[in-house]
Amino acid sequence: MKVRQIGAVAAASVLALSLTACSDSAKDGGTGGGSGKAFKVGIKFDQPGLGLKEGSKYTGFDVDVATYVAKELGHAAGDIQFVQAPSAQRETLISTGQVDMVVATYSITDKRKAQVSFGGPYFIAGQDLLVRADDTAIKGPDSLTGKKLCSVTGSTSAQNVKDKVPGVQLQEFGTYSECVTALVSKGVDALTTDNTILAGYAAQDQYKGKLKVVGAPFSEERYGIGLKKGDKATCEKVNTAIAKMISSGEWQKAVDTNLGPAGFKVDAATNPPKQDACA
Ligand code: GLU
């Protein structure tokens, strides 16, 4: 046992050494147009139109916002490393330094502000419901009593329905795509989260004609960029970058490219938003 442990330690040291060597040479080499130092950004991996990973390709509005903001902060696109940030893990990923920022349909809330800081908002969405296309009974949160509803752990969506509809049977999963699967197979009657996310699923080829968004939003979700708590300097740079993305027309372009194909109607009364002052 002892011998094996020593062996493991030795192997780990060799690995650590070679990893160090690797990152050093990457820095010196300067390949891919970046400085070689990774800038880690937490995004969703399973939300079409927002944050979607397909092989080694990342697409979506959050990906475009993250790439634009990172560039303004001095990080080349080639230096960005996308990390999966499920709803319940976002605060931890930021506070432990596993990511440098989170751009993942991440609503700014007072509760979250106790653990992280937010740049933004860069988009205003609203909570809605996704149901099967032939469902005529569910028209809003008021028609959910006794129904099986799905949402995601650690999201504002789950918390809001618990507060608003105490009679609902809420099933919480780790990701929204798991809820979509349950909705299609009739394991649940509805899925609730932001209308942006729901529109992306409803428009996916495999769900076309099978699912529909109810279309009566019942909350305001202000998407922020999550940063280490108290990093006011970065927050201010992030806000400047978002404002530039909006004034340059790049924000509208990203909206059209990513949310347009799903036929998502952006609420022009609240978008594009003005950024909050950094605390
Ligand atoms: N925007 C809401 C939130 O931050 C719901 C979407 C999500 O879970 O990412 O909780």
pLDDT digits (tens, 9 = 90+) for 159-184: 999 999 988 999 999 999 999 999 99
Instruction: Give the strand order in the sheet containing 148-152.
Output: 169-173, 148-152, 190-194, 127-132, 211-213
Mutate to test the pocket of ligand 1, among 61, 105, 195 (most ligand atoms within 8 A of CB): 105
Pocket of ligand 1 (CB under 6 A): 87, 104-107, 152, 155-157, 193-194, 221
Q: Stretch 137-154: mean pLDDT, rounded?
A: 96
- Nearest Cα to Cα of residue 108 among 238, 213, 214: 238
H-type alpha helices, 104-208: 110-113, 156-164, 176-184, 195-202
State the pLDDT at residue 29. Answer: 32
Placement of tokens 């999201």 in the chain = 155
DSSP β-bridge partners for residue 83: 42
Atom of ligand 1 nearest to the CA of 155: 10
Q: Tokens at residue 272, please?
A: 């594009």
Q: What is the pLDDT of residues 208-221, one digit of tens each?
A: 999 999 999 999 99
* Residue 35: pLDDT over 80: no
State the pLDDT at residue 25. Answer: 33
Q: Is 92 exposed, middle or buried (0-12, 13-18, 19+ CB in 10 A)?
A: middle
* Residue 27: pLDDT over 80: no
Phi-psi group of 97: left, alpha or beta (phi > 0 → left; psi -120 to 50 → alpha; rest → beta): left
Distance between CA atoms of residues 130 and 135, nearest Å: 10
* Residue 8: pLDDT over 60: no
DSSP β-bridge partners for residue 80: 39
pLDDT band at 36 (very low <50, low <70, confident <90, very high): confident
- Residue 81: strand, helix, or coil: strand
- Residues of each domain in the chain carrying CATH 3.40.190.10: 39-125+221-262, 127-213
State the pLDDT at residue 16. Answer: 41
State the pLDDT at residue 40. Answer: 98
Q: What is the pTM of this model?
A: 0.88
Q: Tokens at residue 97, please?
A: 């330094």
Distance between CA atoms of residues 224 and 106, nearest Å: 6
For ligand 1, atom 8, name the residue with the nearest CA: 155
pLDDT band at 11 (very low <50, low <70, confident <90, very high): very low
Q: What CATH fold (topology level) applies to the domain 127-213?
A: D-Maltodextrin-Binding Protein; domain 2 (3.40.190)
* Residue 274: pLDDT over 80: yes
Q: What is the pLDDT of residues 193-252, one digit of tens each?
A: 999 999 999 999 999 999 999 999 999 999 999 999 999 999 999 999 999 999 999 999
What percentage of residues in the chain have a pLDDT greater than 90? 86
Report how far ligand 1's centroid is from the alpha carbon of 86 (Å). 9
* Residue 3: pLDDT over 60: no
**Residue 89: what are its φ and ψ, rounded to 5°?**
-105, 0
Q: What is the pLDDT of residues 106-115, one digit of tens each?
A: 999 999 999 9
Radius of gyration of the CA atoms of the chain, in A:
21
Q: Stretch 109-131: mean pLDDT, rounded?
A: 98
Mutate to test the pocket of ligand 1, among 221, 222, 225 (most ligand atoms within 8 A of CB): 221
- Which CATH number applies to 39-125+221-262? 3.40.190.10
Q: Stretch 91-120: mean pLDDT, rounded?
A: 98
